[in-house]
Amino acid sequence: MILEQKILGLKIFNLKILGMVFGKNHQRKCLLKKQQAPVMQKYLSKTFANKKDLIEDLDIVSLDIETTGLNPNKDRIVSIGLVQIEGLGIKLDSCWHQIINANKNLSAQSVVIHQITDDQSETGMSINEAIPKLLERLSGKVMLVHNAKVEQGFINKICQTLYGCDFIIPTIDTQALAKRSLDRHDSPYKTNDLRLFNLRKSFNMQSYKAHNALMDAIATAELFLAMVNKISSNKTARLSEFIL
């Protein structure tokens, strides 16, 4: 078992190196050739965006997941929310919010934070049902998140468990963008300054209730559009200026 885990880890490492050198589409093609799970075959069959593409021409999905903790190996997803951005406009008719059955009793702290009770969780969709629906919405798109480590970590873990495949996607992280900008200008900041709603305040944007997956996805989308306008008001920005 230990040897198998090491071999799997080496394969994943090599795929990531290939992705860094040749790009996400090369990595996608390598995974697609080896993939047998229909869900991942369908997801990986659509070409990823090119780094040279104009931001305004891209289909972007702003995504947020709420979890019971920050460790994908032991914590669970309790809800998923997303909204699409097309032509640098938020499509509110594309909103999707899904409570997930965590298959465990939620801690009091989790209930207080997410406002999702055990009763609500029990009526939610299973993660086995939700992930194919999520991947279908992300296929061929650019993923927008705030703190990519969470979304990438949890979705990757689930895809590995269910399909034996890594989750890869071109990703824009508003937290990383803010940090990059502050570092570039040698501006002092605290970790708390990089939180979604504190960054929104810095753009004089209204406050939303935190820790609702859909509201956080919309809040992230709005923050991103404000960042795009600041970076490139003439709409000539390309994906390479934003992608991780």
pTM for the structure as a whole: 0.90
Tell me how far apart the alpha carbons of residues 131 and 43 are, in angstroms, rounded to a whole number: 11
User: Do 56 and 139 sit in the same domain of this protein?
Assistant: yes
The owner of tokens 């890594």 is 166
User: Do 165 and 218 sit in the same domain of this protein?
Assistant: yes
**184: closest CA among 230, 226, 219?**
230
User: Do 128 and 26 sit in the same domain of this protein?
Assistant: no
User: Do 132 and 230 sit in the same domain of this protein?
Assistant: yes
Tell me how far apart the alpha carbons of residues 244 and 137 are, in angstroms, rounded to a whole number: 20
How does pLDDT run across 27-84, given as a tens digit for each residue? 999 999 999 999 999 999 999 999 999 999 999 999 999 999 999 999 999 999 999 9
User: Do 6 and 63 sit in the same domain of this protein?
Assistant: no
Rounded mean pLDDT, 106-120: 82
CA atoms within 13 A on the CB side of 198: 10
User: Do 82 and 26 sit in the same domain of this protein?
Assistant: no
- Residue 76 DSSP one-character state: -
Rounded mean pLDDT, 11-40: 78
pLDDT at 3 over 80: no
Tell me how far apart the alpha carbons of residues 84 and 94 are, in angstroms, rounded to a whole number: 6
Is residue 118 very low, low, confident or very high in pLDDT (cuts 50, 70, 90)? Answer: confident
Q: What is the pLDDT of residue 112?
A: 66
Cβ atoms of residues 226 and 88 within 8 Å? no
Q: What is the pLDDT of residue 196?
A: 96
Tell me how far apart the alpha carbons of residues 105 and 126 are, in angstroms, rounded to a whole number: 15
Q: Looking at the chain, which runs of residues are DSSP E strands?
A: 59-67, 77-86, 89-99, 142-145, 171-173
User: Do 133 and 209 sit in the same domain of this protein?
Assistant: yes
Structure tokens given for 126? 């299973």
Can you tell me whether residue 69 is helix, strand or coil?
Answer: coil
State how many domains the chain has.
2
Dihedral of alpha carbons 180, 21, 160, 217, sign: positive
Q: What is the residue range of 41's domain? A: 37-241
User: Do 24 and 51 sit in the same domain of this protein?
Assistant: no
pLDDT at 234 over 80: no
**172: closest CA among 222, 232, 240?**
240
User: Do 128 and 195 sit in the same domain of this protein?
Assistant: yes
pLDDT at 7 over 70: no
User: Do 2 and 94 sit in the same domain of this protein?
Assistant: no
The owner of tokens 């990531």 is 16
Q: What is the pLDDT of residue 103?
A: 87
* CB neighbours of residue 81 within 10 Å: 22
Cβ atoms of residues 134 and 100 within 8 Å? no
CATH number of the domain to which 145 belongs: 3.30.420.10
pLDDT at 154 over 90: yes
Least confident of 9-13, 60-64, 129-133, 205-209: 9-13
The owner of tokens 């689930």 is 158
Cβ atoms of residues 227 and 174 within 8 Å? yes
Is residue 14 very low, low, confident or very high in pLDDT (cuts 50, 70, 90)? Answer: low
Amino acid found at 143: M
What does each C-alpha distance from 127 to 101, 115, 154 come to in angstroms? 7, 19, 11
Rounded mean pLDDT, 210-224: 95
How does pLDDT run across 173-200, given as a tens digit for each residue? 999 999 999 999 898 999 999 999 999 9
pLDDT at 21 over 60: no
Q: What is the pLDDT of residue 104?
A: 82
Cβ atoms of residues 78 and 127 within 8 Å? no
Kindly report the backbone phi and psi dihedral angles of residue 66, in degrees, each rounded to the nearest multiple of 5, phi listed first.
-105, 135
Q: 157 or 5: which carries more pLDDT confidence?
A: 157
pLDDT at 12 over 60: no
Rounded mean pLDDT, 76-100: 97
Cβ atoms of residues 76 and 102 within 8 Å? yes
User: Do 62 and 20 sit in the same domain of this protein?
Assistant: no
Average pLDDT of the chain? 90
Least confident of 16-20, 44-48, 158-162: 16-20
Q: What is the pLDDT of residue 209?
A: 81
User: Do 23 and 92 sit in the same domain of this protein?
Assistant: no
